[in-house]
Structure 1
Amino acid sequence: MQQPKKYDADWIARYYRRRPWEAIARVFKILWFLGGFLLRMVLDDWFHQSEKNKLKRASELRHTLTRLGPTFIKVGQALSTRPDLVRKDYLEELIKLQDRLPPFDTAIAFNIIERELGRSIEELYREISPHPVAAASLGQVYRAFLHTGEEVAVKVQRPNLLPVISRDLYLMRWAAGWMAPWLPLNMGHDLTLIVDEFGTKLFEEIDYLNEGRNAERFAANFQDDPTVKVPAIYWRYASSRVLTLEWINGYKLNDTENIRALGFDPNAIVEIGVVSGLRQLLEFGFFHADPHPGNLFATLDGRMAFIDFGMMDQLDERTKETLAASVVHLINKDYYALADDFITLGFLAPGTEIEPIIPALEKVLGKAMDESVGNFNFKTITDEFSELMFDYPFRVPAKFSLIIRSLVTQEGLALSLDPNFKIVEIAYPYVAQRLLKGESPAMRSRLLEVLFKDGKFQWQRLENMLGIARSGGNFDLLPTAQLGLQYLLSKEGLYLRNQLLLALTEGDRLHTEEVGRLWHLVKDEIQPARLFDVALSALSSK
């Protein structure tokens, strides 16, 4: 089966329409497993046992998807991030779905390596483990040494994977087109497009050359970050089905005992992961979409190592700016603007009447924002939103299902290490710092949205943001002050200069009390010599 390396739904459909017999056996197997599961659900309903057996059935669904193989395991993982498609009790079970299968025969794996790389195992590697050290749904990994001495991981794809996945995607797309008209709007909306997005990402994930390129791009983004480690790629030993990369010595993040034995705090390393995740979304727009414990390691020198760059995604500038805006509107409790952000991001369809939705947003998000920042729990918010999905026309765009998966996975990992962990205690300082630094016109625009409401300067908000930013522990005020002063002195900052003058004299009085509170907040960081240097630098760059 010679088919394109990239997902092409039309090509796959033409292939199987000409060879329907190749799909028939798979259809019977799928119907046997899924049909038996659905029959048990119907019997539960007939005998009024649905509530009693719902957790049992959710567990059965997870095991059924596992037995159906790699594509369905991936489907289960994708569905675990879709509260608009799956009930809450099933979501909780699917989140547990492990991307693992028994390993395939090493002789077959070595044959694939030799065929793909054009040399014998002995010529390629000085030494290689006789059995895989890890096995997943799409491939397995061996530990080896190159003849030049480097310790490497050799990733080998499962045999015949592309035809198996293509056949399953063809059947899924056919089923999606058939079922969509019978489903509620928010469930049936663009169901074939969801399958296509899933297929595109799955094809990218099984192209190991694409994974290697992703790893190098990710490494370039974090080249100046000493806390993040990315394995090097050995391109002479790589193909679309075999990837040789630097071996990472360390421990999985949930191996807290060994991490502490190295002298490191597991929670501190998880914090590195959270901040690096925010940088991926809000700075680079290029993010790792599968940060489960098997893909994250604490290295022997205390860094966070990322591996497995098959599932990545890219956010455009408009999406990054809208995400920043939504954070601002959430902080400001501006639910009308937040609803507009949801339309821009695709969570609500264009033209959706937002008036009836505002009370629901206030109910879900207002309660969370009324509590302290430290009590904000992302998992709780997504769970409550999953209930709203069936009452309001919310939907989760396929791209954002990967973001949600990333955030929920990171928070879940952190909570497994520390039940008191609060992701927002780390996220808020980072977002506040990004806004205060105002390194781009978009970020400066969002900062102005925070600082002004109805044309009036919000002193309390600035005070709160400074306090939150400083709580991150690594926020240096003076470089931020330099950026701010440069902006104030620029043509772009004319509006802000005028507004600040008005704010200082608003209500026919000087706002010395507010200025005094801000000074008390930052005075310990203001050293005269550094302050003079900042002012001089800002003036010279004018």
Structure 2
Amino acid sequence: MAGTLRTLSRLLRITRVLGRHDALFLLEDVPVASTMVSLTRRIFRRTEDGRPGQRLARALIELGPTFIKLGQALSTRPDLVGDEVAADLADLQDKLQPFPFPQVREIIEAEFGCPLEDLYQSFDETPVAAASIAQVHFAITADGQPVAVKVLRPGIEQAIADDVEMFNWLARTAERLHPDARRFRPVESVATFEESVTLEMDLRFEAASAAELAENFADDPTFRVPSIDWVRTGQRVMTQERITGLSLDERDGIIAMGLNPNEVLGNAARAFFTMVFRDGFFHADLHPGNLFVDATGTIIAVDFGIMGRVNESDRRALGEMLLGFLTRDYRRVAEVQFRAGWVPPDQSIEAFTQAARSIAEPIFGKPIEEISMARVLSQLFEITRRFDIPAQPQLLLLEKSMLLAEGVGRTLAPDQNMWEMTYPLIEDWMRTTFGPEARIRNAALGLARSAERLPAIFEYADKAAAMISSGGLKLHPDTVKALARQQSPTPRKRTLMMQGLPWLLVGILGTLLYLR
């Protein structure tokens, strides 16, 4: 009872903030909430103008860290909030007032069990960035290395846990009172959100993501990730190599360094393509504050709290779909989505083809530099309600990343289109990964792996044979009866079966023992 009253009290405060910003518009079409929205608008006078998404972003900032993260999550769900609101939320500034240095010192010393001075010979008390989850300070380690130190906000874990508990209550209530909401999987979406922010609150996971991305690009001189100082990294503190460079949207400064913006954009496009299609592991928060370029033209990424993964089958579907759009083969776009299982099989492939055409043709009538593949995918996801397509969270996160990357690209080189740059890369990747040569190569690798297992399988087969001869392997009586009920074979076949059955059982058991 006390928990429910606490939840209702917090909901009242949230409603008041959202109402003051006129940001309750997402609930207007929900029957059980429409009356509340109307009443709230009468009580609270709107204090600011702007697009609905901008007003919602300001309200979420006022509500604090969890709601900022919620806004970032909603920016990946145009199927829920619409394309325009999703785009506005993608620009949500993850900035808050910094917390004082004495708390920073306390957190670091509690994490490592020693004075701060034992770890760093100097430590800037004023943070260079203060976000919803953590803030960053520059420092120099005890052995003289310049680093950036990320420190979690005090009490952030409990604050987010309380808010997630409320989100779960709201999601369950929505599914119970509004059955149509189940298509959007609110309970599952909250669980995904909870998993994401929980990972963000353990900086060791972020450090591991940075290390994995660095390994993936170890041989690429055009893209790199700052190294992790694992000695000074823990659950609530992460220490990373300090980098120097210009933000990727500082076009004039990049030109002043003697770099060609088109070449820099080409490096960025190739890096994004490599993350998604080669590795299936990508940086999902590619705003200008997280992307820098140094004097050599190398792109440097920071902040690995939000990462995405795309499995091989989804990568193939995405590659085919992008090629289909770029070549205006809309039937191919439709077939890819049906084959991937993203569109229910009872829907019309012809109707879906026409929907894809209706979205893309107006866009492709524009000059190449104005074409937005992210917008094409975004609008394609908008038709999910019409075709009863369930949301694909991993693709929505990728769409958000594409939007952010595209925005940076347009600022850096307005006359270029980064997706046009990736066209030959996608084409080559599709051919080398899924073409005839790749199928032969994969088959050969499969046979080689099977051959490697044969000695172990034979070894375990010997053990299985010994079990049979010693009476250690017995069939269940029900299995014996079931075998007896089968149609009797001819005498010749019966003889062959009886001769071969023990060795078949030996082989199966040996394989199972090996795989165990």
> Counterpart of 1:411?
406
* Preserved contact between residue 269 and residue 419 of structure 2 (Cα < 8 Å): no
* Preserved contact between residue 186 and residue 393 of structure 1 (Cα < 8 Å): no
Q: 2:303 aligns with which of 291, 308, 311?
A: 308
Q: For residues 193-246 of structure 1, give each alpha carbon's deviation from its aligned partner in whole angstroms, at most 9, with x where no partner exists.
A: 111112211111221101111111101100110011211111111111100010
Q: Does 1:218 align with 2:202?
A: no
**Unmatched runs of 5 consecutive residues or more in structure 2:** 26-36, 43-47, 445-516
Return closer, same or farther for 1:193/1:278 CA change in 2, 3 Å cut-off: same
Q: For residues 137-166 of structure 1, give each alpha carbon's deviation from its aligned partner in whole angstroms, at most 9, with x where no partner exists.
A: 110001000111110001000011111111
Return closer, same or farther for 1:351/1:185 CA change in 2, 3 Å cut-off: farther
AA at the equivalent of 1:259: I
> Counterpart of 2:62?
67
* Preserved contact between residue 346 and residue 396 of structure 1 (Cα < 8 Å): no
Return closer, same or farther for 1:164/1:259 CA change in 2, 3 Å cut-off: same
* Preserved contact between residue 134 and residue 140 of structure 1 (Cα < 8 Å): yes
Q: For residues 110-149 of structure 1, give each alpha carbon's deviation from its aligned partner in whole angstroms, at most 9, with x where no partner exists.
A: 1101101111111110001021111111100010001111
Q: Does 1:28 align with 2:23?
A: no
Q: 1:166 aligns with which of 161, 169, 174?
A: 161
Q: Deviation at 1:299? A: 1.8
Moved more, 123-132 or 176-185: 176-185
SS in 2 for 1:352: coil
Q: For residues 385-408 of structure 1, give each alpha carbon's deviation from its aligned partner in whole angstroms, at most 9, with x where no partner exists.
A: 365345443454111121011111
AA at the equivalent of 1:163: Q
SS in 2 for 1:310: coil
Distance 1:432 1:310 in 2: 31
* Preserved contact between residue 55 and residue 89 of structure 1 (Cα < 8 Å): no
**Unmatched runs of 5 consecutive residues or more in structure 1:** 1-16, 48-52, 449-485, 491-542
Note the aligned Cα RMSD (angstroms): 3.2
> Counterpart of 1:243?
238
Q: 1:178 aligns with which of 173, 176, 194?
A: 173
Q: For residues 329-381 of structure 1, give each alpha carbon's deviation from its aligned partner in whole angstroms, at most 9, with x where no partner exists.
A: 44565444433432455643454343432211121234556777665322442
What is the TM-score with the length of structure 1 in the denominator?
Answer: 0.71
* Preserved contact between residue 143 and residue 154 of structure 1 (Cα < 8 Å): yes
> Counterpart of 1:207?
202
Q: Matches of residues 287-436 of structure 1 in structure 2 within 5 Å?
A: 287-330=282-325, 333-343=328-338, 345=340, 347-349=342-344, 351-368=346-363, 376-382=371-377, 384-385=379-380, 388-436=383-431
* Preserved contact between residue 19 and residue 41 of structure 2 (Cα < 8 Å): no
> Counterpart of 1:272?
267
* Preserved contact between residue 88 and residue 386 of structure 1 (Cα < 8 Å): no
AA at the equivalent of 1:27: L
Question: Identity of aligned pairs, percent?
Answer: 30
* Preserved contact between residue 346 and residue 397 of structure 1 (Cα < 8 Å): no
Return closer, same or farther for 1:38/1:172 CA change in 2, 3 Å cut-off: farther
AA at the equivalent of 2:358: K
Distance 2:118 2:233 in 1: 14
* Preserved contact between residue 435 and residue 444 of structure 1 (Cα < 8 Å): no
* Preserved contact between residue 183 and residue 390 of structure 2 (Cα < 8 Å): no
SS in 2 for 1:173: helix
Q: Deviation at 1:320? A: 1.9
Distance 1:372 1:418 in 2: 14
AA at the equivalent of 2:270: V
> Counterpart of 1:527?
none
Which structure: larger Rg? 2
> Counterpart of 1:149?
144
* Preserved contact between residue 374 and residue 399 of structure 2 (Cα < 8 Å): no
SS in 2 for 1:85: helix
Q: For residues 397-430 of structure 1, give each alpha carbon's deviation from its aligned partner in whole angstroms, at most 9, with x where no partner exists.
A: 1111210111110001111233323122212122
AA at the equivalent of 1:34: L
Return closer, same or farther for 1:348/1:182 CA change in 2, 3 Å cut-off: farther
Return closer, same or farther for 1:261/1:334 CA change in 2, 3 Å cut-off: closer
Return closer, same or farther for 1:369/1:184 CA change in 2, 3 Å cut-off: farther
Q: 1:285 aligns with which of 277, 280, 285?
A: 280
Q: Does 1:97 align with 2:92?
A: yes
* Preserved contact between residue 176 and residue 191 of structure 1 (Cα < 8 Å): yes
What is the TM-score with the length of structure 2 in the denominator?
Answer: 0.75
Distance 2:327 2:255 in 1: 40
Distance 1:324 1:387 in 2: 20
AA at the equivalent of 1:95: A
SS in 2 for 1:97: coil
Distance 1:149 1:39 in 2: 49
* Preserved contact between residue 54 and residue 89 of structure 1 (Cα < 8 Å): no
Distance 1:22 1:108 in 2: 28
Return closer, same or farther for 1:313/1:73 CA change in 2, 3 Å cut-off: same
Return closer, same or farther for 1:180/1:266 CA change in 2, 3 Å cut-off: farther
Return closer, same or farther for 1:373/1:396 CA change in 2, 3 Å cut-off: farther
Return closer, same or farther for 1:186/1:379 CA change in 2, 3 Å cut-off: farther
Q: Does 1:76 align with 2:71?
A: yes
SS in 2 for 1:154: strand
Return closer, same or farther for 1:426/1:97 CA change in 2, 3 Å cut-off: same
Q: Does 1:190 align with 2:174?
A: no
Q: Deviation at 1:32? A: 2.2
* Preserved contact between residue 282 and residue 320 of structure 1 (Cα < 8 Å): yes
Return closer, same or farther for 1:435/1:397 CA change in 2, 3 Å cut-off: closer
Return closer, same or farther for 1:143/1:391 CA change in 2, 3 Å cut-off: same
Return closer, same or farther for 1:175/1:235 CA change in 2, 3 Å cut-off: same
Aligned residue pairs, count: 428
Distance 2:40 2:348 in 1: 36
* Preserved contact between residue 136 and residue 148 of structure 2 (Cα < 8 Å): yes
Return closer, same or farther for 1:204/1:70 CA change in 2, 3 Å cut-off: same
> Counterpart of 1:529?
none
SS in 2 for 1:103: coil
> Counterpart of 1:11?
none
Moved more, 322-331 or 156-165: 322-331
* Preserved contact between residue 136 and residue 151 of structure 2 (Cα < 8 Å): yes
Return closer, same or farther for 1:105/1:164 CA change in 2, 3 Å cut-off: same
Distance 2:386 2:407 in 1: 27
